[in-house]
Every structure is written in structure tokens, then in C-alpha cells.
Chain A
Amino acid sequence: MTRYGMSIDLDKCMGCRACMEACKVENSTPPGSFFMYVFRLEQGEYPSARVSFLPRPCMHCDNAPCVKVCPVGARYKREDGIVATDWDRCIGCRYCEVACPYGVNTFNWMDPAENTYLDYDDADVAAVTGGVVPPYRNPALEEPYGPEQRMIAGGGHSRGVMEKCTFCVHRVEDGLDPACVQTCPVRALTFGDLDDPTSAVSRAIQGRTGFRLLEEAGTEPRVHYVGGAAPGPEAREVDEPVTEV
């Protein structure tokens, strides 16, 4: 029985945020929406300040608070451990978003087609695109996935629905790694079957000290951190929040 999980090696992560970039391209997420987010944290005061990084995908919890609260079953747990969001069923009540202790959910406040990084009507942009290059969208995201054949892949789908990290379900079902894992230049991220002791992810965790985020909340996250330490209460984020939708 395949049970997907991820390991994140904090000793290797250097905060380049290439995973965030790869995720955005792969999943066609609109501005302000981050399925993968890398915290850049600082602790202590000068001269003994210290910087650390913490990549934060969806934890794909086994006891997921978001699945429990969804009133229509749009958020559900797949057999293979992936916590999926059916954007074709979601009613946009945003209960999953307040229930999630990790803040991984992202809501489409406006139509993603009108919410793009580039203004395609702008004269300078149109000079390059020639008016014929449309905003890129990954076609694999419009397909149904899993034995349930539900619409769960990627982001930027429609207005008023919730989206979040899918573990790149459209790639995983093709036997590929998620985009963030594929892209990481220092192989800090590993993906695979946690039930198989010989898988890459199991070997990455074995014999290493590690932790899972907010384990005390009882959510049973499937993302394992190795090396480094969980951020303490004095950790502060360096970046300002992204306020545009």
C-alpha cells in the first residue's frame, strides 16, 4: 500500500525558494497564492542573530483538520495519503483555511484568469507577446485524477474556491516527483512512499533526528523534517506579507 510522504532536510536548505518558483509554474497558481512557501526566519539580536529557512508545503496530515471540517467533502484524504481538494465541488466557505494550523490554504479571491503576474493588455507586454501568446496554463491540471476521478490537480482554476498543495498529484500519478522536489538544487526535498523502507524518502529519514511541524496538535503530518530544529516562539519572519490577491 503506497502512502506518500515528504522529507525536508533543513541542514541542506539554503532558502533559495526555487521550489516556490517551480511550484508556481507547475501548478499555475495566481499571484499571492503559494502552495509551497519557504519561511526566511531570523532569531536573536545583532550580533548574535541567526537566519534559518523552513520550506512549508501542505503537510498532508493523516488526521487532517481541514478534511474534518469540510461541509461538502470537497477536501478529502486519498488512499495514497494525499489530501486533495476537489475544486469542482468546493463552495468557498473557507472553513478548511481557518481549521488548518499550518496556513497552507489559498483562496481565489478573484477570477484567476484576470489575476495574472503579467498584464497582457499592457503595451510593453503586448509588444513581446504579439497579442498571440496567452497566459500559460498547465493543461494537465484540467484532468480528473485518482480512482475517484475527481478534479484535484493544481491551482488557478476558478473564482471563489479553495486550493492548496496537491503533492503535484498529476505528476505523482505519472510516476514523477513533485515539481518542488524535482527542482531543489541541493536535494533538500525527497518524495516517495513512506511505507516502503527502501524508498528514497524512507532512507532520507532513517537514522536522522527530526521532527514534524506542530506535532502536538495531533494532526499526524506526512511531511518529515530532518536536521535543524523546529522554529521556536522567538523566530520572526523576515519577509512582509504579500497583500495583493
Chain B
Amino acid sequence: MATTARTLPAERGRGGRTWYPVVALLLILLGVGIYAYLEELSEGMAVTGLRNLGPQGGATWGLYITFVIYFVGLSFAGISTAALIRLAKIDKLRPIVRMAELLTVICLMLAAMTIVADLGQPLRGIVNLFRYARPQSPFFGTFTLVISGYLFASLVYLYLDGRRDAAVRAAEGAPYRGFLRAWAAGYSDTEPERVRHRRASFWLSIAIVPLLVTAHSTLGFVFGLQVGRPGWYSALQAPAFVMLAGVSGLGMLIILAAIARRSLHLQARLGLPMFRTLGIFMFVSLLVYLYFVGVELLTNLYTGSVRERDVLRELLGGDYAWLYWSAIAGFVIAAALLVAWLAVQQLRTHIWPLVVAGVLVNLGAMAKRFLIVVPSQTEGQLLPYADGSYAPSWTEYAVIGGLLALGVLLFLGFAKVFPIIPLPEEGDDGKVVT
């Protein structure tokens, strides 16, 4: 056990040559983001590109809300992986469960911060959202189910799942022993403890599976329930949110797993069968999502109201067409790549088609989130206001860039002090047959 563990990423100094420049770059990005947010705090949200709907011809929700949805979408990865392992007994995915949970936790924290960045009165928001909470508002679900329930469940899962590794690492005398001891909290890897742990994680994963659907649906309802917004008001909004969350979350997980495999030299542990499982799940989600897109397009083209068609026209051939068709192209190319990967013998032994597809669907997801949020506000007014426009300001880009950098930093920081890939258990010698 000790020899296997020593090659694992928790060892300090591994990958040191590229680690420090990368961290420095991320810190700079984070600094710029913090500066931009401080400017927004002192000058007001006038420094963003957001403006009022109607007479002011702007969009009042823009890049921030786009990324709130994107971040929450990515968090899909953690719970789905945990559930697949525990409930569907897909043990192949076990090596990436911690990475997936970490991705969920970090993305939910980023989403919460992005919401705060979008509030006109952030301090008042943090107090009043608890003090005067109204369950009738679809936002209530975003704060309770998504940010609190989902995040809490994922943290508990991450904690329980990591106790054994913490105990093992602490016993080996790894760095940050105090932290590892605190995490292990007396765990000593005896058989009854293992059984109890396995049972606890099993029931926890059953408990959090409903969250998978409800939490992502809640965010869809924020948009889908608005009768006054053509392009939002649709019963398909919530299911489509869940599916695109699945596509982007699994895509991001594939990217992260590929990076870990390469940089930590874990070709054996993170083997092809695991990537194949992830790839197939992503492929199926992507097909279902594309089907939803088609259904929505057909319905709106065939029977949409005048305003509904106005918004659609802007998407298909107007100001937003380049973004719309790029997103669709990204999804379709990703799907085609996955078909080729499944069908062609020579491609099947590579993981690059999966990584490329993962990148494409994530870029597509960002674009699609933007296209859900913005055009309905600038082009979808029900009263005859002139068409509006919205372009994010550098402040918004900088804040989002800073948040993304913070996410990567948290990920790297965690990987530095804790085994990002679970230590092999008995009967699992770290070699997975490819």
C-alpha cells in the first residue's frame, strides 16, 4: 500500500515545474477579478453592460446569470457520478468520484458568489434572503435546494468518502498531518468502519439523487415560469436545464480526468473503460438534449406567438445568430465525434475525441446559457418597445474570469494537500485492465 500511495498526487512537489507559473497566472486573474468587483461595489452596477428593459433598451440579466446557470450545471457531475457508483455499481468510475464531488462543491460555491456579484445590494441580499425568504419565488429553490441542500450533501459525501484516505495519509506521515487527522476524525480503517461507511454513502447517494433532478429543474423554473418572457416561458425549460447540466458536467469531468491522467501519470488507474463509461453517458445526454432543442425549435417555428418568433428570428438569423449556430455546431460536432469514437476501431483506444467533445459541449453550454438569458430581454418585449442590445463590460468579464481562476485554484490547492484520486483499496492494486 505504501509504495502505491507514494506515487499518488498528494505528494508535495509533484508537477512543481509547471505548478507555480500556473498558480501565479491564476492569482493574477483572481486579483483582476477582485479589483473589478471592488469597482462595481464602489461605482454601482453602472460599470456593467447591464441596463433596464423597455425604455432603456438593455438586458438586466446578463453574463453573471449566464454563469450562475453554467456553474450550477457543471455541479451535475459530482452527484451523478456518486449515484452511478453506489446505485448502479459502476466501480470503474470510483477513481474519479472525489474529483467529481470536488467539482460539484467548487462550482456551487462559484455559483453562489456569482449570484452575489449580480445583486445590486449584496450585503442586504445575504441578510434578507434568510430574513424574508418567500417560498413562492423560484429563487427560493435556487438558494435552498441548490446552493444549500446540494452543496451541503456534496460536502458530506466528499467528507465521508475521504475519511479513509485521510487516515491512511496521516498514518504515512504525509504533509498537512493536522488537517488530515482532523478530516479522518478517528477513523482507523477497520472492517466494521468500512461497512458502516459504505452503508452511509449508499443511503446518502439515494437521498441526493432526487436533488439531481429537483435542483437543476429549480433553476430552469426561474426562467420557464415567466409568462411575460417569450423564449423562456416553456414547460421544456426545466428538463432541458437538467440535460444540458448533465452534458456540460460530464464533459468537464472528462476534461479533468484526462488532465489528471496525463499530469499525474495515472494511465493505469484512470483507464480507458472509465473514460468509455463517461463518454457513453455524455453521448446519451447530448442526444437527449439535442432532441429537446429540436422539439423546442419546431414548436416555436410552427405555432409560436409573434413575439416568440421575434426572439427566434434573432437567434436564427439576427444579432445572436453567430453565437447560436456556433453553439449548435459545437454540440453537433461533439455528437459526431462521439459517434465516430464509438464506431471506428482505431479511435476507440484514444481519449482525445472525448476530451475534444467535452471542450466543445462546455463552450456550447456557455453560449446556450447566454442565449437563454439575454435575447428574450432585448428582443422579446411584449409591448412595442424598440429592440435593445447588451454587451458585457470588461468588469463582468473580469469578475467571471476571476471566479473561474478561483475555481481552478481551489481545485489545485485541494489536489496539493489531499489525494485527488482515491488511494487504492485492498483487492484493488491500482491496475485497471484496459
Chain A positions within 8 Å of B, measured between CB atoms, are: 32-34, 37, 39, 41, 54, 56, 65, 68-74, 89-95, 97-111, 115, 159-162, 213-214, 217-219, 231, 233, 235-237, 239-243, 245
Contacts and interface: CB of A to CB of B under 8 A. Distances in A.
A143 to B, nearest CB: 21
A162 B52 CA distance: 10
A206 to B, nearest CB: 26
A101 B382 contact: yes
Interface residues of B, number: 51
Interface string B376-387: 010001111110
Contact of A105 (B52, B128, B381, B384): B52
B352 to A, nearest CB: 41
B313 interface: no
Dominant secondary structure of chain B at its interface with chain A: loop
A109 B51 CA distance: 8
Contacts of B383: 39, 54, 56, 101-103, 213-214, 231
A92 B121 contact: yes
Contacts of A109: 44-46, 48, 50-52
B385 A91 contact: no
Contacts of B133: 71-72
21 contacts: A34-B55, A37-B54, A37-B55, A41-B384, A70-B134, A70-B137, A71-B134, A72-B128, A72-B129, A92-B124, A93-B139, A94-B61, A102-B228, A106-B52, A159-B120, A231-B383, A241-B57, A241-B58, A242-B55, A242-B57, A243-B58
Interface in B340-385: 377, 381-385
Contact of A98 (B121, B131, B377): B377
Contacts of A233: 306-307
A159 to B, nearest CB: 5
Q: Which of B61, B124, B138: most chain A CB closer than 10 A?
A: B124
B125 interface: yes
A237 to B, nearest CB: 5
Interface string B6-49: 00000000000000000000000000000000000001111010
Contact of A93 (B53, B54, B125): B125
B132 A89 contact: yes
A112 to B, nearest CB: 10
A241 B56 contact: yes
Contact of B60 (A91, A94, A111, A115): A94
A103 B134 contact: no
